[in-house]
Amino acid sequence: MLRGRDIISVNDLSRRDFEKIFEAADEILKAPERWSAVLKGRIMATAFFEPSTRTRLSFHTAMLRLGGEVIDLGETEKSSIAKGENLSDTIRMLDSYSDVIVIRHRLEGAAKLAAEIAEKPVINAGDGSRNHPTQAMIDLYAIRRFHERIDGLTIGVLGDLKYGRATNSFIAALTKFRIERLYLISPPQLRVRDDTRELLVEAGVEFREVERLEGVMGELDVLYASRIQRERFPDPSEYEMVRGSYVITGESLRSAKDSLAILHPLPRVDEISFEVDSTSYAKYFEQAALGVPVRMALLKLILMG
């Protein structure tokens, strides 16, 4: 089902695709040693045209843990990109060297273009402000692990819902499941885009857009936090004004359910205060650690079925 497929956007994936990946990740976590040579002799190429720490390293780790090999384009300032080579030619080269290509790029649609050029499967590790499908897989898998289900949960997404590719992919991925209710919590400037709203309506997801976290905190099973970037605000004072309302502190968690799981795609700057890290709600580091088994599951399913 996933064998040989490109992974460009969450919208190309079905609920069954997600479940297949989750089931494989479960198996990997149960008996990792059984997976240590399944991709022996296979090569994954990574081409990150934008900075990345977690995503790049977790893809590398995933491939190495499956017994495969990794080649990396390196920093674009030091590669042929610096000489003016375009994306298409770079992808053609990687296609001839590797069995699967992982790409991150600033431009929207870059991964789709790469997939059209390459014969080998292409995995989008983030392009533009919409798509980060493997992050969404990890996010949903984390929810499934912490709550043993995704259906029926009340979920809040906090922060930059307009430009954040992790939040956009997460919201799109939730439409594949039957959640109880979705709260979209953001300043008015960073509300979800119309097409996301249309997607939610089409999928029949019950959702509400709110500006403040306090009013809804007590209802949430999952709170997905994200970074509000200063550069999204033309006026710095406006940024300073809204920022405080979107910081999760011990105080803001007073009405939270015991079972609340706080997730964050990381890196965080100051949107979750450090005092939260030691509470039972803080699941973001465990969530990040799940990046490796989920990407292992994906690589295995794409390369071997």
Partner 1 sequence: MAEKPLLVAKIRNGTIIDHIPAGRALSILRLMRITGKEGFTVALVMNVESGKLGRKDIIKVEGLALRPEDTDKIALLAPMATINVVKDYEVVEKRKAVPPKIVEGFLRCKNPSCVTNQRNEPVKPRFRTVSYEPLKLVCEYCGLALTFDDIARQLESRT
Rule CB under 8 A: choose which of 126, 128, 133, 159 binds partner 1: 128
- Report, in Å, the least distance between residue 156 CB and partner 1: 24
Which residue lies nearer to partner 1 by CB, 129 or 189? 129
Measured distance CA(53)–CA(17) in Å, rounded: 26
37 binds partner 1 (CB under 8 A): no
Convert 187-213 to b/e letters by CB count within 10 Å (16 or more is b). beebbbeeebeebbeeeebebeeeeeb
Stretch that binds partner 1, among 50-58, 112-120, 133-141, 227-235 (CB under 8 A): 112-120
Count, residues near partner 1 per rule CB under 8 A? 18
Rule CB under 8 A: choose which of 4, 51, 74, 109 binds partner 1: 109
Under 8 Å between Cβ of 122 and 111: yes
Restricting to residues 186-245, which ones interact with partner 1 according to CB under 8 A?
A: 195
119 binds partner 1 (CB under 8 A): no
Which of 59, 179, 50 is CA-nearest to residue 171? 179
Measured distance CA(252)–CA(256) in Å, rounded: 8
108 binds partner 1 (CB under 8 A): yes
Under 8 Å between Cβ of 187 and 242: yes
Q: How many CB atoms lie within 10 A of CB 109?
A: 13
112 binds partner 1 (CB under 8 A): yes
Stretch that binds partner 1, among 103-111, 154-162, 181-189, 242-250 (CB under 8 A): 103-111
Which residue lies nearer to partner 1 by CB, 136 or 225? 136
86 binds partner 1 (CB under 8 A): yes
- Report, in Å, the least distance between residue 3 CB and partner 1: 23
Which residue lies nearer to partner 1 by CB, 195 or 286? 195
- Report, in Å, the least distance between residue 11 CB and partner 1: 8
96 binds partner 1 (CB under 8 A): no
Under 8 Å between Cβ of 133 and 21: no
Residues across the chain: 305
Stretch that binds partner 1, among 41-49, 128-136, 144-152, 204-212 (CB under 8 A): 128-136
Q: Which residues bind partner 1 (CB under 8 A)?
A: 9, 84, 86-88, 105-110, 112-113, 116, 128-130, 195
